[in-house]
């Protein structure tokens, strides 16, 4: 399998604090890769660094995506190259409708790729199918992005955005925290429907709730800012039974 994302010897700081230390990780095309680890081990930082949050400073190391140097790209370029993050804490955008955000985003990507813009009719169709499948109501689409939604609804909407934008590489950051079983099923369904030979997922979690609905191909365990072990799905069971102290 060709490699989609390759991280080598990554070191990251916020302010003066070193958060990621000599982290290496490789994700091939088509893989669902779970990253597990206790709170504060740097999982969310890793996701933010991949998508280019300017609050984090990479001091050394590299991230390549489809063979391109991701660290040289701005956050929007990375997004348009196909990197998507479902946020653990989605941000409120007062007055901005979900449909407007997504239409603008889809057409920004199309422009970036030199493709024609999606017209209103195509867009409505594209949206209708996905909204219905994920239980997103018209009323939810009319409301401003993330304003006044419950945590569960926000995460459903993050999943919906992922389905709308059809990125090649999706990072789901702690989607299972505070999510009920129904919502977990929705996320699981989205991932399994979207799963393709060329599309990969990173699923970040600190327990195994979501992994009951999405079966990972590979699992990496993070501790103290780095990946301490990578293996198969059996690692999930090991953690469940013995805790993180069983590893590293």
Partner 1 sequence: MNKTKEALSRNLETPYQEGFETLVENETAPKGLDEDIIRYISQQKNEPAWLLNFRLQAYKHWLTMQEPHWLKGQYEPIDYQNIYYYSVPKKSGLKSLDEVDPEILKTYEKLGIPLNEQKVLAGVAVDAIFDSTSIMTTYSEQLKKQGILFCSISEAVQQYPELVKEYLGSVVPYKDNFFACLNSAVFSDGSFVYIPQGVHCPMELSSYFRINAKQAGQFERTLIIVEDDAEVSYLEGCTAPQRDENQLHAAIVEIIVKDRAKVKYSTVQNWYPGDKEGKGGIYNFVTKRGLVMNDASLSWTQVETGSAITWKYPSCILKGDNAVGEFYSVAMTNNLQQSDTGTKMIHLGRNTKSTIISKGISAGQSSNTYRGLVHMGIGAENAKNVSKCDSLLIGDKCGAHTIPVMKCANPTAVVEHEATTSKISADQLFYVQQRGLTSEEAVALIVNGFCREVMQRLPLEFAIEAQKLIGIQLEGSVG
Q: Which residues bind partner 1 (CB under 8 A)?
A: 51-55, 74-76, 79-80, 84-85, 87, 90-97, 100-102, 104-105, 108-109, 112, 144, 161, 165
Map residue 231 onto helix, strand or coil: strand
**Which pair of structure tokens corresponds to residue 219?**
């699992």
Q: Of 8, 17, 22, whose CA–CA distance to 56 is shortest?
A: 17
How does strand 226-231 pair with strand 68-69? unpaired
Q: Of 52, 34, 60, whose CA–CA distance to 207 is shortest?
A: 34
Shortest distance, position 144 Cβ to partner 1, whole Å: 7
Looking at the Cβ atoms of 50 and 214, the one nearer to partner 1 is: 50
Shortest distance, position 240 Cβ to partner 1, whole Å: 32
Looking at the Cβ atoms of 37 and 84, the one nearer to partner 1 is: 84
Looking at the Cβ atoms of 75 and 194, the one nearer to partner 1 is: 75
Shortest distance, position 14 Cβ to partner 1, whole Å: 11
Looking at the Cβ atoms of 112 and 180, the one nearer to partner 1 is: 112
Shortest distance, position 53 Cβ to partner 1, whole Å: 6
Residues 151-171 as b or e (16 or more Cβ within 10 Å = b): eebbbbbbbbbbbbbbbbbbb
């Amino acid at each position: 399998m060709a490699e989609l994302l390759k991280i080598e010897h990554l070191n990251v700081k916020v302010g003066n604090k070193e958060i990621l230390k000599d982290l290496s990780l490789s994700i091939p095309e088509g893989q669902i890769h779970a990253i597990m680890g206790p709170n504060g081990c740097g999982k969310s930082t890793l996701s933010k660094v991949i998508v280019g949050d300017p609050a984090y400073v990479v001091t050394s190391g590299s991230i390549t995506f489809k063979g391109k140097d991701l660290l040289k790209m701005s956050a929007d370029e990375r997004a348009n190259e196909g990197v998507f993050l479902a946020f653990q804490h989605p941000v409120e955008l007062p007055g901005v409708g979900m449909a407007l955000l997504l239409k603008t985003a889809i057409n920004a990507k199309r422009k970036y790729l030199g493709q024609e813009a999606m017209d209103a009719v195509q867009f409505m169709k594209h949206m209708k199918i996905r909204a219905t499948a994920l239980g997103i109501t018209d009323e939810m689409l009319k409301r401003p992005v993330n304003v006044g939604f419950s945590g569960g609804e926000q995460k459903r909407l993050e999943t919906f955005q992922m389905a709308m934008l059809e990125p090649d590489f999706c990072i789901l950051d702690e989607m299972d925290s505070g999510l009920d079983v129904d919502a977990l099923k929705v996320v699981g369904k989205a991932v399994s429907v979207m799963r393709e030979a060329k599309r990969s997922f990173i699923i970040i979690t600190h327990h195994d709730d979501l992994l009951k609905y999405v079966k990972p191909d590979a699992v990496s365990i993070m501790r103290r800012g780095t990946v301490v072990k990578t293996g198969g799905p059996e690692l999930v069971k090991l953690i469940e039974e013995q805790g993180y102290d069983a590893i590293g």
